[in-house]
A and B are shown apart, each in its own frame.
Chain A
């Protein structure tokens, strides 16, 4: 939303009033406006059925928008068939051609473009060197591991220097460690080659790791488009706050609003000060959002003088290696998570009564869930 205001480079891709329906009754994508700048890594993030993959497929040319127009480098492409769009694509299941060798797979986009033999060889070689797989050039896709296949798919989508690269959950089939490694590799490729990437995933940590900007989809609507940190720190609504990162929700009613802040009476009693982000006015019901790492646990109510202090009961502690979580019962929310400092988890006893405190600027008053 606010990203459209700062545009140093012209938009390479522009979705303009895009709507898409499959059955003529429900809109899978409702009125999408989205600009993607050259060299940007934009992730379409959202739960399944949110319209993110449909959006990608419309950009690739496999689906036709019901309404609106897509521009690629200022050129309307709604009626351009996929093979003329010059867009590289990496698929979820890799879609490497099983009857061709790795080398032939990577050479395929060049050979359909009738690139001469010497140049094809040189470019395929360079592409395979880029993914560190020169030695496996003669293998078939079935003889490679999932990670290797994904690298080949990447090389194949990049070898013809497309003006745009689309990735449809390319790491979904890999295990966690490999996925994290591949995230960094893709990010590195993006930075060194200066390519423009549109990436689809439902994994928010993947989106945060790789993207320049993230478009959060829900119900066919882009909820927010922003840098990863802005998305995390300044979610515009409860959906984004809940979908991106861990989040604690407390239900309440707005009592008073003063400038950017408001006082919220919690449904379970007590009141807190919160930043008024998405509330209509006094008397409106709201969902408060507090990140687990922005909360401190204090033994009694007197040791802190901040405005937001709530009684809590320790339910459980979860040890996760690099950090630990305390699960508390706070104001009716029995799954209230608090991130603990290293070594703090064994000081809490189950059933113990404690207090939590957080700053008003870390507590966001958003639309009710």
Chain B
């Protein structure tokens, strides 16, 4: 009875109360928004914008459409089963002449060459040898005579695939996939299928570095969290020291240390442990060592903060309840550091995924990570589509990981993250 009358009373006053609340909160909200606005604008231009641009470039495909507009239009209704009709040949001949005149032929040639190796030669030679618009009805014959490739279906399906305005070509290529002549998704030819292994290598290196950071960082974080303040401050400075020197300097220092005539090899030789210098750099070992060094603080700091929050009373309680030190550590201490382990590992792993300079400097050819290829396509070959697609795949993988981590942490908080 009381409950019902209460409910009735609240529903009759609900609307005005809500409105009053909203009015009361509005000023505060506007102020808060005004305060974060500069940051939002900054993030929009430096973060959200570039990422959206990258994602767009991964599917953007308008070069062929702009250079060969009539061909694209003529091929729109082509079913791709046989060679296209005479109309398409005539349109292509006209487009080639127009594109040659306007200079856009090279752009189309470059794009088509990505999809079909040698297409550049086909298109450029055709453009060079095509003197004038062929007589009506002879376009197919003329083009076929200039380059027999025009008599092949795959040449035309390549143009149709590239006719845009959006394409999955780059994204498929980033996953070592391609469309075959019938438009079905198939494995890319072996000489082009390198990205899956590069992704696998990227993830493997990142995982190794994460595990190394965890193994090395855990005792340091434990020490930091348990030492008396004076000494732990000193140790903290040592942990943060890498942040004070440039990444490049740190990486180069490893070259000095690890090269075949470097400090480590010389010392080992002098001690008589080795006769031949060990190969410590320009291989996977060097990459992992240098990256672990650079990323270690990102593991130690989250671990430290989670350990600092663990009251020493828990370990005492475990001991008083009969748990030997190791059991108490494994069953009581470590589980409570899981949020820190998770945060640190995720941070290190995601940062490692994007590493570029360090592997480039201390790694061999087989140790280059995905960022190296992204940089290669952006700066060397200007294949922005593929660079963006590789970036998009990397971003997707990272976001998925972050989501999985978020789920795990959420589960933790509902069940055990609370303090008493």
Contact = CB atoms under 8 A, between A and B. Distances in A.
B313 A157 contact: no
Nearest to B317: A95
B321 A98 contact: no
Interface in B313-338: 313-314, 316-325, 327-328, 331-332, 335-336, 338
Contacts of B332: 97
B324 A143 contact: no
A112 interface: yes
Given A99-B416, A142-B419, A112 B316 contact: no
A46 interface: no
Interface in B277-331: 311, 313-314, 316-325, 327-328, 331
Interface in B332-360: 332, 335-336, 338
B13 interface: no
A93 interface: yes
Contacts of A166: 320
A143 B311 contact: no
A221 to B, nearest CB: 26
B417 interface: yes
A75 interface: no
A83 interface: yes
Contacts of A86: 322
B389 to A, nearest CB: 42
B142 to A, nearest CB: 78
B378 to A, nearest CB: 46
Interface residues of B, number: 26
Given A91-B313, A91-B317, A98-B336, A141 B322 contact: no
A97 B417 CA distance: 11
A62 B320 CA distance: 9
A32 B196 CA distance: 73
A109 interface: yes
A83 B420 contact: no
A94 interface: yes
A83 B324 contact: yes
A96 interface: yes
A82 B420 contact: no
B322 A95 contact: no
B5 interface: no
Interface string B406-420: 000000000111111
Interface string A67-96: 000000000000001111111110101111
B321 A141 contact: no
Nearest to A96: B420
Interface residues of A, number: 34
A83 B418 contact: no
Given A98-B336, A98-B419, A98-B420, A112 B320 contact: no
Given A99-B335, A141-B420, A142-B418, A62 B316 contact: yes
A243 B420 CA distance: 31
Nearest to B336: A99
Contacts of A88: 320-321
A85 B322 CA distance: 8
Contact of B317 (A81, A89, A99): A89
B418 A109 contact: no
A149 interface: yes
A142 B338 CA distance: 17
A81 B327 CA distance: 14
Interface string A135-176: 000001111000001000000110010000010000000000
B335 A109 contact: no
B416 A98 contact: yes
Nearest to A97: B332
A142 to B, nearest CB: 3
A217 interface: no
A97 B320 contact: no
B145 to A, nearest CB: 78
Contacts of B323: 83, 108-109, 112
Contacts of A99: 335-336, 338, 415-416
A98 B318 CA distance: 12
A259 interface: no
Contact of A149 (B319, B322, B325, B420): B420
A61 B416 contact: no
A60 interface: yes
Given A89-B320, A98-B417, 9 more contacts: A83-B328, A85-B320, A88-B320, A95-B317, A98-B420, A99-B336, A108-B318, A140-B418, A166-B320
23 contacts: A60-B316, A62-B316, A81-B324, A83-B318, A83-B319, A83-B325, A84-B322, A89-B320, A93-B313, A95-B316, A95-B317, A96-B317, A97-B314, A97-B318, A99-B335, A100-B416, A108-B321, A140-B415, A140-B418, A141-B418, A141-B420, A142-B417, A166-B320
Top 3 A-B residue pairs of the complex, sorted by shortest distance between their CB atoms = A142-B418, A89-B320, A95-B317
